[in-house]
Amino acid sequence: MKTGNRKLQEEKVFKDPVHRYIHVRDELIWDLIGTKEFQRLRRIRQLGTTFLTFHGAEHTRFNHSLGVYEIMRRIIEVFEGKPHWQENERLLCLSAALLHDIGHGPFSHSFEKVFQTDHEWWTRKIIAGDTEVNQVLRRMGEDFPQKVADVIEKTYPNKLVISMISSQIDADRMDYLQRDAFYTGVSYGHFDMERILRVMRPTEDQVVIKNTGMHAVEDYIMSRYQMYWQVYFHPVTRSAEVILSKILQRVKALQESGYSFKQHPYHFQGFFKGELPLEEYLQLDEAVILYYFQMWQQEEDRILRDLCQRFMNRRLFKYVEFDQNFVMNDWMKLQELFRKTGVDPEYYLVIDSSSDLPYDFYRPGEEEEERMPIHLLMPDKKLRELSRESDIVEAISGKKRTDHKLYYPKEWLDTPGNEHEKKQIRDILQVQEGKREIE
């Protein structure tokens, strides 16, 4: 049985379109990549349903995890020999970076919402449980898997290590912004990572940025802001996500009602019971889920069949934006009109809100905030919060942006039948559309 870590006789490299090469020199990392739990990430897309909007977004959590590892490796190169950096934390940081998303399942966002699961919980189980990942990690000591889990869960005592993988400027975000921009093909999401890496410095409890790198960090924060609204919250992606969630909700409801499926949801049984063994969770990937969606297009249940056809053939819901007046006065009425026409609003009239906070911080004299701010290391060696120095960051600091959308099957309004109710529905929705145009 192997113990400890050895340097590989020859460095291994993965060709990567974002970082050019991903370099592996440690046997521990190489063996973690080879575990079946890590290889499973090849079958889980990084951006879930975004491929229905940006067709290039087919990249997986495997690519991203390798990318986060590579950025972490490069941060460590910069930190080597500097005060506060402890060389004995190197493999812990690399392992945590590589495994930080190991618990993600297929279309995690929707699954977590409908079945009340949590990918962070699965991450702990995979790292601590009877898995190949755990066996490899234990070579570094019996407590090493727990340390890796603690770093990912942000409960590890060394806050510097946590901030390298999880803070407002960390290896995870720096990889996903660039990778998601590359694969979606958008022109946002680019920033000078080389520059940021060169000016990162370790302190006792967080990574800070030399003040000369401020403009590169400004660019990074603006990239993040743009990516959220242009890619992550894209209304078409959200529509696909809404339909996906509704499919899962319908399957759950049918199962509870004793419905007899043509294609029984065998792989969902653990979710229904609320007791899913780890090995069954690990069998789930997007291929399995999409197989069910494909088959359920022939189900007797009209709603499940229709929702699956919509998802598989990209016949998504349209949307209107709405405001308080709509919620107070029209929302209940609209649901009632849907019911009158025989269309269940629970599945066909869906509210979805998105909000984001691009950068936030705590200033002395204000209530404490949970987010650790980005600090600049000034020439006098003092730390200064980023927005105190940067007008650009100051302008967006603490600014939240929110939008509310109502999704519905617009094409159904043009089908024959229930003309009177459909006209009333159209009238309500057009008022909302009109308001948006005026804005």
Q: Which residues bind another protein (CB under 8 A)?
A: 112-113, 116, 118, 120, 153-155, 157, 323-324, 327-328, 331-332, 351, 353, 355-357, 365-372, 400, 402, 404
Beta carbon nearer to another protein, 51 or 361: 361
Beta bridge partners of 72: none
* Total residues belonging to the chain: 439
Report the nearest approach of another protein to the CB of residue 368 (Å): 6
Report the nearest approach of another protein to the CB of residue 115 (Å): 12
Could you tell me the strand order of the sheet in which 207-210 lies? 200-202, 207-210, 375-377, 383-385
CA distance linking residue 20 with residue 205, whole number of Å:
31
The structure tokens listed for 35 are 């575990």
Beta carbon nearer to another protein, 405 or 422: 405
Report the nearest approach of another protein to the CB of residue 360 (Å): 9
CA distance linking residue 179 with residue 17, whole number of Å:
8
In 3D space, the residue among 92, 211, 76, 231 whose CA is nearest the CA of residue 149 turns out to be 92
Beta carbon nearer to another protein, 365 or 379: 365
Beta carbon nearer to another protein, 329 or 415: 329
Beta carbon nearer to another protein, 192 or 321: 321
Beta carbon nearer to another protein, 5 or 237: 237
**Three-state secondary-structure class, residue 142:** coil
Report the nearest approach of another protein to the CB of residue 422 (Å): 23
Q: Burial, 263: exposed, middle or buried (Cβ in 10 Å; 0-12, 13-18, 19+)?
A: middle
The structure tokens listed for 151 are 């770093």
Report the nearest approach of another protein to the CB of residue 121 (Å): 10
Report the nearest approach of another protein to the CB of residue 291 (Å): 28
In Å, how far are 64, 104, 232, 355 from 46, measured between CA atoms? Answer: 7, 9, 11, 20
